[in-house]
Chain A
Amino acid sequence: MFFQSIETLIAKAQQGNKRAWLKLVKQHESQVYNYCLRMLSNPDDAMDLMQEVFISVYKSLPSFRGESSFNTWVFQIVHRRSVEYYRRRKHFQSLDEVPEQACEHSELESNQLVQVQHQQLTTMLNNLPWEQRLVVELKFFQHCTFEEIAEQLDISTNTAKSRLYSALGKLKVHLEAVDG
């Protein structure tokens, strides 16, 4: 198998090359899936959202002109889709009512510590309103700058900052509650 740069893969996928597209999906699926998992805290929902995201990316692929990096472009779609998914799901149940679900993956079952960490993170994220959760995800897990966050979420830099500070404030309350 020859090494193909991401630009080549994108160009081929844009021309309808199935293998190139599947390779692109494989390269990005882990990042997207873990993002969805952190945001939705449910493996089934994360899977659904990831699938929707990649369908969206595939449909929009002809319009990708390479003005930003492919990763940034994909994540712009991920954020849009996740907001839509969240709004849709909100009609059925509030996120606060969602029971915490232990990750059922067999590899994780063998590692209790990892499971506990994941649960802690899920609880902390679930404690935040959706908008703040998005900013926390982008700041601490995607390592974006405030400008990038603002660009990705189509908000001002100040709004991005205030959302992050509010999220940090909420964490303080949460930690105090946990510590008793």
Chain B
Amino acid sequence: MANLEALFEQWLEGNVLSDAQLQQLENDPEYRALMSQAQVWQQHSREYNTVPVPQWDRQSTMPQVASESVFGVAGIWAVAASVMICSLVFLVMPQQQAPELLDQVAKQTQLLESQQKQIDQLQKIITAQNELQQQHMYQLAKEAIATGRVERQEDINSLITYIKTLRAQDQAYLRMQLNDLAEQVQEQPMAAIAKNQE
């Protein structure tokens, strides 16, 4: 039985079995059934027609990343352009014009360098601006929380004031009732007052 199991495993793993080994498996009703069921799956796998992937947004698989710096790319291009111009000047232009052209190239390079500096400065400004914006957002959030807190405090204060007023009114009313009772008692003749006698 263990032998058959090992053979079946080998067959499943795609190893080639001898005719005798295959016969051995097919002679066993349990393994014959398992083989035929495995063959059904294998047939489905072979005949499976790959379903084309519908149109979808592949970029959505990339979580938001900081956008590539346009200025950085421009800087690289600027340097590359200056190198190309220099090589062209040395390779193509005649020797007489060389000094003039060299001057021009030098000017061009200076111009490119100054542009690169400007780009760097702009990048710094943008970074500073972003930081500032973040700070402002933080301040705004803090203020919103503080305002909420103050409003809650004011609400609680007004509630306490209201309760205090109600209590004062109740006390005044009770005082008046007690005074009335005291006056009634005072006005009654002494004979009408009950005497507790045993």
Residues of A within 8 A of B (CB): 16, 18, 21-22, 25-26, 29-30, 33-34, 37, 43, 47, 50-51, 54-55, 57-59, 103, 105, 107-108, 111, 114, 117-118, 120-121, 124, 136, 139-141, 143, 145-146, 161, 164-165, 168-169, 171-172, 175
Contact = CB atoms under 8 A, between A and B. Distances in A.
B62 A58 contact: yes
Contacts of B38: 140, 168
Contacts of B51: 33-34, 37, 43, 103, 105, 108, 118
A142 to B, nearest CB: 9
20 contacts: A18-B59, A22-B59, A26-B58, A29-B53, A29-B58, A34-B51, A50-B53, A50-B56, A54-B61, A111-B49, A117-B44, A118-B49, A118-B51, A136-B41, A139-B12, A140-B41, A140-B45, A169-B37, A171-B41, A172-B33
Interface of B: 9, 12-14, 33-34, 37-38, 40-42, 44-45, 47-54, 56, 58-63, 65
Given A25-B61, A175-B40, 16 more contacts: A25-B58, A34-B50, A47-B56, A50-B56, A51-B60, A58-B61, A58-B62, A105-B54, A118-B51, A139-B41, A140-B41, A140-B42, A146-B12, A165-B34, A169-B34, A171-B37
Given A121-B44, A146-B13, A172-B33, A55 B63 contact: yes
Interface of B: prevailing SS: helix
B63 A59 contact: yes
B63 to A, nearest CB: 7
B63 A58 contact: yes
B51 to A, nearest CB: 6
A143 B45 CA distance: 9
A103 B45 CA distance: 18
A55 B34 contact: no
Contacts of B56: 47, 50-51
Contacts of A124: 40, 44
A16 B60 CA distance: 15
Contacts of A165: 34
B11 to A, nearest CB: 12
B37 A168 contact: yes
A57 B61 CA distance: 9
Nearest to A46: B51
Contacts of A58: 61-63
A34 B50 CA distance: 7
Q: Which 8 residue pairs across A and B have the least CB separation, nearest first?
A: A54-B61, A168-B37, A140-B41, A140-B45, A33-B53, A171-B37, A114-B49, A25-B58
Given A16-B65, A43-B54, A171 B59 contact: no
A35 B7 CA distance: 29
A75 to B, nearest CB: 16
A43 B54 CA distance: 9
Nearest to B61: A54
User: Which has the most chain A C-beta neighbours within 10 Å: B42, B56, B59?
Assistant: B56
